[in-house]
Chain A
Amino acid sequence: MREVYLDNSATTPVLPEVAAVMHKIHTDTYGNPSSLHRMGVEAEKIKRRARRTLADACSVKESEIYFTSGGTEANNLAVMGVARRLRRRGLHLVTTQVEHPSVLYACRLLEQEGFALTYLPVDREGIVSPAAVADAMRADTLLVSVMHVNNEVGAIQPLAEIGALIKKNNSETLFHVDAVQSFGKLPVQPLLWQADLVTFSAHKLHGPKGVGALYKRQAVHMEPFFHGGGQEDGLRPGTENMAGIGGFAEAARLATAKLSAHALALSKLKKNFSAGILAAIPDICWNSSEEGAPHILNISVAGTRGEVLVHALAEEGVYISTGAACHSRRPELSHVLLAMGRKEKDVEAALRFSFSPLNTEEALVYALEKLQAAVLSIRRVTRR
């Protein structure tokens, strides 16, 4: 059977070049970077080079990149690490209603610890208003956390405007950005955004699962989660996932080298696929806008249930999702679509197609054909 993987926001395949780098680390340069001998020195060099690659990709300093076990850990660390460390300075944090659960649930835990949280609403496109961020800020606001690209609908937040307003209001308030979905597809610009903390995860850009990074501006202090051997400046101790780090850097290098070409290709895929849906399937509710990220398209197909369509398409070899991967096992309604004011039955009918530069126009034509057929047969049954 033909297979078309359109769930690249959940995770992506590791590129052969990336796997080759990882294999070499596993077999040749397998030393512990903390060791003093040559094997250790070689490993340390790989790590330093990887750090530089990531730093260069977003124009920050090498010393400001910290490796973690993934996006979840980096988000948790950023939000909880800052709040706990700066507790004496204030107790208020601002975020949005559409963040990834690794930010939202960290915020909820902080509420239990006595912090006050503001969860900002979004408009019908999933965008948070910069003015609303500014209005929500209090004198004791420690941190504002807003994601770059939303993982379910692809909405792009106006980070430069938000960052400028935050810093204008209170230069001490820190700004965290979850850039897990945008890194490698759109320019990630901590300096332009005036962001103090930025989260990355390798497996969304054809790197390995289980490795991520946190950009932390030098002057920012935070509490680590773990204690141990002092790795990553003590912010994230533990023997490094060396192959993962090397693979992450290679994936980042490849993605950023072709950033604009990829973005263009992805936009074209998304545009043509959307046009195809519009022409072939009536009664679609669009949850992603044209201005959104080029690799995510979220629609609700009236009269269907998302989960049913995901399964029906999987049987035809077309792999998509109803929204965030970590939600998919629970029949929970998407908090993102609800925040965007979608009706419950549209939320239940949501589908997410997410593209990668590895997808072809031709594969998408195939996917559209299968989608159209599946929708038709489901509607035939349910609309009787």
Chain B
Amino acid sequence: MKKIYLDHGATTQANPDVLEAMLPYFSEFYGNPSSIHSFGRETKKALEEAREKVAAGIGAEPREIIFTSGGTESDNIAIRGAARALQKKGNHLITSSVEHHAVLDACLALKEEGYELTVLPVDEYGMVSVKDVEAAITNKTILISIMMANNEVGTVMPVAEIGKMARERGITFHTDAVQAIGLLPLNVNDLYCDLLSLSAHKFYGPKGVGILYVRKGTKLDVFNFGGAQERKMRPGTENVPGIIGMGKAVEVAVADREKRSARISSLRDKLIQGLLKIEDTRLNGHPEQRLPGNVNVSVKYVEGESMILSLDLKGIAASSGSACTSGSLDPSHVLIAMGLDHQLAHGSLRMTLGTDNTEEEIDYVLAVMPEIVARLRSMSSVYASSKKE
């Protein structure tokens, strides 16, 4: 059977070069980087080389890079760490209603602890407005967190403008760039960010390892305690092979980015155009300010989950929202924030393209989709009654 993977927003397959880079660090160079003997020093050196690669890839300095266990941890330590460290300065946080739960729920937890929180609305395309951010800022604002690109609908936010505004006002700015790296230009200086989160498995690296960029001078309270790893910002024996794989993955992601993005964008556009030819469908997210790999459509009168299961039977892996929430029955908070009604939100289908997808695969998807939709609609009572009217 065909196996077409259109769920790169959920996770990606590790690049063979990444795996090869990791391999020696399991059984050959296995020392603990904290050990003083040469076994330890070897792995420590490799760890620092990975740090340099990551830093070079995003325009940072090596000592501004902290290795974490993934995007969720990076987001959480950025938000809580900054909020805690800046408590004396103020207690107001700004974020958006379409952030990943790692950001949104970390902010909501702080709200319960007594912080003031503004959750900005988005427009029908899922876009945060710079003006809204500006209007929300008070003299108590200590942190703004706006994602670079949305994981569900792919909307690319005006983070550089927001970052610049935050910088001018001395407010710490965090951006979740988990979905953006390797697809959008990403330089921490151009983005004016103080904190930036990345997760290796979204850009062809291994799962369970991530990055937090912390601009020099940014105040951040520590979360975990133990050894002196990661300059005490993130103690615990390092996931050495994971980190080395991630260093390689960053290198691969930023090389050839433009060519890759252009190719994936054109596949995306073809897929969107084809899907919109199906009656009663609509595109979710921004028509232009959109991640190269993101396709998100709502198919009226059909449940997103039914489509996913039908597509799965045809060998096509897709999702109905973010992977983490696709197991739950709640409609996507992103689509609701964009003003979709529950029916359209439940009928959403996300296909996220990656480097390995081909034009033939897109043709195949477009060939099977109309029959899947027609079959599911034929079983839908809502559809039947709507057509009677």
Which residue numbers of A lie inside 8 Å of B, CB to CB?
Answer: 5, 7, 10-16, 18-19, 22-23, 26-27, 30-32, 34-40, 69-73, 75-76, 100-102, 105-106, 108-109, 201, 203, 208-211, 225-231, 237-244, 307, 310-311, 313-314, 319-322, 324-330
Contact = CB atoms under 8 A, between A and B. Distances in A.
Given A36-B327, A326-B226, A311 B101 contact: no
Contact of B238 (A40, A209, A240): A209
B138 interface: no
B208 A241 contact: yes
B305 A36 contact: yes
B226 A26 contact: no
B71 A238 contact: yes
A30 B26 CA distance: 19
B237 A71 contact: yes
Contacts of A70: 236-237, 239
Contacts of B101: 227-230, 237
Contacts of A71: 236-237
B312 interface: yes
A208 B239 contact: yes
Query: Which 6 A-B residue pairs are closest in the complex by CB-CB distance?
Result: A241-B208, A210-B239, A229-B324, A326-B227, A238-B72, A102-B226
B237 A210 contact: yes
Contacts of B19: 23, 26-27
Contacts of A105: 225-226, 235
Contacts of B36: 307, 310-311, 314, 321-322, 328-329
B268 interface: no
B76 A226 contact: yes
B196 interface: no
A329 B76 CA distance: 28
A241 B69 contact: yes
Given A69-B208, A229-B325, 14 more contacts: A7-B31, A10-B32, A13-B26, A13-B30, A37-B316, A203-B32, A209-B242, A210-B209, A227-B109, A228-B72, A228-B100, A239-B70, A243-B206, A319-B37
22 contacts: A19-B23, A19-B27, A30-B11, A32-B207, A35-B317, A36-B309, A36-B312, A38-B312, A69-B69, A72-B226, A102-B236, A209-B238, A226-B102, A229-B102, A237-B72, A238-B73, A310-B37, A314-B37, A325-B40, A325-B227, A326-B34, A329-B34
A222 B322 CA distance: 26
A101 B226 contact: yes
Contacts, number: 282
Contacts of A229: 72, 100-102, 322-325
Q: Which of A209, A231, A329 has the most CB of B within 10 A?
A: A209
Interface string B294-307: 00000000000100
A105 B241 CA distance: 27
Interface string B74-104: 0110000000000000000000000011100
A72 B7 CA distance: 32
A103 B372 CA distance: 55
A227 B76 contact: yes
A326 B38 CA distance: 15
B328 interface: yes
Interface in B1-59: 5, 7, 10-14, 19, 23, 26-28, 30-32, 34-40
Contacts of B40: 10, 325, 328
B242 A241 contact: yes
Contacts of A16: 27
A361 to B, nearest CB: 22
Contacts of A228: 72, 75-76, 100-102, 105-106, 324
A238 B36 CA distance: 32
Contacts of A322: 36
Contacts of A13: 26-28, 30
B69 A102 contact: no
Interface in B298-341: 305, 308-309, 311-312, 316-320, 322-328
A8 B207 CA distance: 26
B319 A325 contact: no
A276 to B, nearest CB: 21
B122 interface: no
Nearest to A25: B207
A242 B30 contact: no
Contacts of B229: 326
B179 interface: no
A19 B35 CA distance: 22
B224 interface: yes
A246 B68 CA distance: 19
A101 B236 CA distance: 10
B235 A72 contact: yes
B228 A326 contact: yes
B240 interface: yes
Given A36-B308, A320-B37, A11 B31 contact: yes
Contacts of A14: 26-27, 30
Contacts of B224: 72-73, 76, 102, 225
Contact of A69 (B14, B73, B225): B73
Contacts of B136: none
B80 to A, nearest CB: 9
A321 B37 contact: yes
B199 interface: yes
A204 to B, nearest CB: 9
B378 to A, nearest CB: 22
